[in-house]
Amino acid sequence: MPPTPLAILQQHWGYPAFRPLQAEIIDSVLAGHDTLALLPTGGGKSLCFQVPALCMEGVCIVVSPLIALMKDQVYNLQKREINAVAIYSGMDYRSIDRILDNCVYGSVKFLYLSPERLMTDLAIERIKRMKVSMIAVDEAHCISQWGYDFRPPYLEIARLREVLPKKVPILALTASATTDVVKDIQEKLEFKNQQVFESDFSRPNLAYIVRHSEGKDEKLLEILQKVPGSGVVYVRNRKRTREVAEYLRRNRISADFYHAGLTHQERSTRQDAWIAGKIRVMVATNAFGMGIDKPDVRSVVHLELPDSLEAYFQEAGRAGRDGQKSFAVLLYNQNDARNLEYQFEQAFPELSEIKQVYRALGSYLQLATGAGQGESFDFDLPVFCQNYQLESIKAFNALRVLEQEGWIMLSESVYTPSTLWIKVSKEQLYDYQIRNKQLDKLIKSILRTYQGVFSQAIQLSESKLANFLNTSTQQVKAGLNALHQDGILEYIPQKDKPQLVFLKERIDANNLNIDQKRYLFRKNRHQERIKKAIAYAEQEICRSQQLSWYFGQKDAQPCGICDLCLERKRKGLDDDTILRLREKILRLLDSDSLSYADLLSAFALTSRQDVVDTLNLLLQEEEVEEVDGKLKLR
């Protein structure tokens, strides 16, 4: 008899019970239902597919666009002695081939795939031969053009249904999706017999605060001096991460900075120090935070307004995962609104500019017309822009358009350790050593340090070999390259660069077309998201309520702990009063349109100021509108 989900949870993770909705989601998947799970950041989404997959026979295919998160989950599963592997941009063909073979013939339980790798002919042919238990689609909002992070390769995921038995269920997971996106996910993944589980988007322990401030650095310092404990500060660009961290250190607050331009070792060291509490505050771009399980973050401060409430909700939600009182603070001024509007104008370049960048891309990567489909390249945006005299903002936005049109895919920095595999027999290798005495010591050190080098690709450390040989890392790399050139071994040096994947073969830039209808749709959606983000900062409506409404939870109540709820309490206008007056106003307007005077006359003189304040909230919430001097329901 197979183990129960609870037994799996206790055996591998040591948790006594599931979090809210996890058990229901798992039961739905085990019953064979296509399932959509909307759980907030830190809500335990990964267990919703990891636990049922361990209850079932076969391989669970996990689709995720976040390489760092994939690698982190694979590492954590392997630590629990669960066989998990990942395929993503930047990996060589031989490694991919070997991993897929292991999934067909071995005992792999989890195969993590980036979406552009999922639909290659190689992957599809092997998946046909795998015993697949379920498909988990992480960051499922990426499938929808209604969403804030649309990725065209996600649209291909449903093709898996053509090569897998009908009984294989799909579990789609996301932390943030509007009503339109929820519908789109189910449609694009061709859900049948579906179940949807949506957690409450409110966070009772998280106080959302907006502070209107011109001197943001000074205000940040004041907040961190008042709120003890671990914190994250989000800024828009890499330069600001360093500047703000240095400012905090000068004012005796332990801080460091983090962005995608740091090396893998620097990112890893700083992240580990912050998780361990050796650094109190991490100042970072949005590259920081995905997959990091630190429950005791007391404050998340944004120095700039993000361009969507989805992004803000996800980043702010990293505070207070342990259920203790925490703060999500946005420092805002009118420059934020102007900056977002300017960035919006830059985000949708002219077709001529997109063609210019596409043409330069082919030259930069030395890619011939008709070539490149499915290939992954190291990509350095600053060097690319410098080589072709391109403005970095315009070039980046042109690349984003090319990505959204399905021509390319960009990913974050990918750290892939060096790998080595000896291709010749032991006899041939011995022969080579006799004829190449200068490389004999290096070969012997490889054989003594690493096992299995004749049968499979192994990860290696050049610095470890250098220490063993009492030489420099550069000399070791030179020796490994020489052995690679001579065909003795296959040596692939480590990578730590952002990756650019050509999803289609390169064409002549003059023939590049952009779907104008789709382009205009995305442009309008982006503008709407910016308007909602600005409204969040400027409207005098409960912050938590605004976020819940945005994600379709129209019955959300005022939180009582955000800055606006606290201000209303100080003014003596409590939540019960607002709810009572709101119900009466809506009831009166449901019968007929009324002027201000007629509406106010229906209330006692002593409560009329409270009525005015409540009516202003209803107008801001767009439940009531004014037309030709009269108030009416929308």
Task: Give me the percent of the chain exceeding a pLDDT of 70.
Answer: 98
Please say whether the dihedral angle defined by the alpha carbons of residues 14, 18, 19 and 21, taken in this order, is positive or negative: positive
CATH class in words for 5-198: alpha beta
Q: How many residues does the chain have?
A: 634
pLDDT tens-digit series, residues 584-606: 888 888 888 888 778 888 888 77
The confidence band for 55, taking pLDDT boundaries of 50, 70 and 90, is very high
CA distance 407 to 153: 10
551-633: CATH architecture? Orthogonal Bundle (1.10)
Q: Which residues contact 284 (CB under 8 A, 6 or more apart)?
A: 232, 233, 234, 235, 241, 257, 258, 259
> Quick check: 228 and 348 in contact, CB under 8 A?
no
* 386 CB neighbour count, 10 Å cutoff: 11
Give the mean pLDDT of 56-68: 91
Residue 6, pLDDT above cutoff 90 = yes
**Is the pTM value of this prediction over 0.85?**
no
Q: What is the pLDDT of residues 547-577, one digit of tens each?
A: 999 998 888 888 889 998 888 777 766 667 7
Q: Which CATH number applies to 419-493? A: 1.10.10
Residue 362's nearest CA partner among 349, 373, 351, 348 is: 373
SS3 content of the chain, % helix, strand, coil (to 5): 50, 15, 35
Q: Would you state the pLDDT for residue 175? A: 86
Q: What CATH class is the domain 342-416+497-522? A: mainly alpha
The answer, yes or no, to whether residue 143 has pLDDT greater than 90, is: yes
Measured CA to CA, the distance from residue 299 to residue 282 in angstroms comes to 11
The boundaries of every CATH 1.10.10 domain in the chain are: 342-416+497-522, 419-493, 551-633
Instruction: Show the tokens assigned to 542.
Output: 């409960």
> Crossing angle for the helix pair 216-226 and 238-250, nearest 10 degrees?
50
**Secondary structure (3-state) at 366:** coil
User: Starting at the edge strand that comes first in sequence, how are the strands of the sheet with 297-302 ordered?
Assistant: 206-212, 326-332, 297-302, 230-234, 281-284, 255-258
What's the pLDDT score for residue 620? 66
Per the model's pLDDT, the better-predicted residue between 249 and 589 turns out to be 249
pLDDT of residue 600: 84
Q: What is the pLDDT of residues 430-481, one digit of tens each?
A: 999 999 999 999 999 999 888 888 877 788 889 889 998 999 999 999 999 9
Among 3-7, 325-329, 491-495, where is mean pLDDT lowest? 491-495
Residue 42 has pLDDT above 90, yes or no: no
Mean pLDDT of the chain: 89
Residue 88: what pLDDT? Answer: 84
CA proximity to 202, closest of 607, 619, 579, 551: 551
Rounded Cα–Cα distance for residues 53 and 344 (Å): 42
Domain 206-332 has CATH 3.40.50.300: yes
* pLDDT for the residue 555: 83
Give 165-170 contacts, CB < 8 A, sequence gap 24+. 165/132, 167/32, 168/132, 168/133, 168/134, 168/135, 169/29, 169/32, 169/33, 169/34, 169/35, 169/134, 169/135, 170/34, 170/35, 170/134, 170/135, 170/136, 170/137
Residue 98 in this model has a pLDDT that exceeds 80: yes
Distance of CA 78 to CAs 74, 113, 127, 210, 265, Å? 6, 16, 22, 42, 21
List, for residues 518-553, the tens digit of each pLDDT value. Answer: 999 999 999 999 999 999 999 888 999 999 999 988
* Burial degree of 352 (CB within 10 A; 0-12, 13-18, 19+): exposed
User: For residues 370 and 411, which has the higher predicted lDDT (pLDDT)?
Assistant: 370
pLDDT value of position 601: 85
Q: What is the pLDDT of residue 414?
A: 63
Q: Within 13 A of 379's CA, how many CA atoms are on the CB side?
A: 25
| Section 258-270 average pLDDT | 86
Which pLDDT band holds residue 221 (cuts at 50, 70, 90)? very high
Intervals of CATH 3.40.50.300 along the chain? 5-198, 206-332
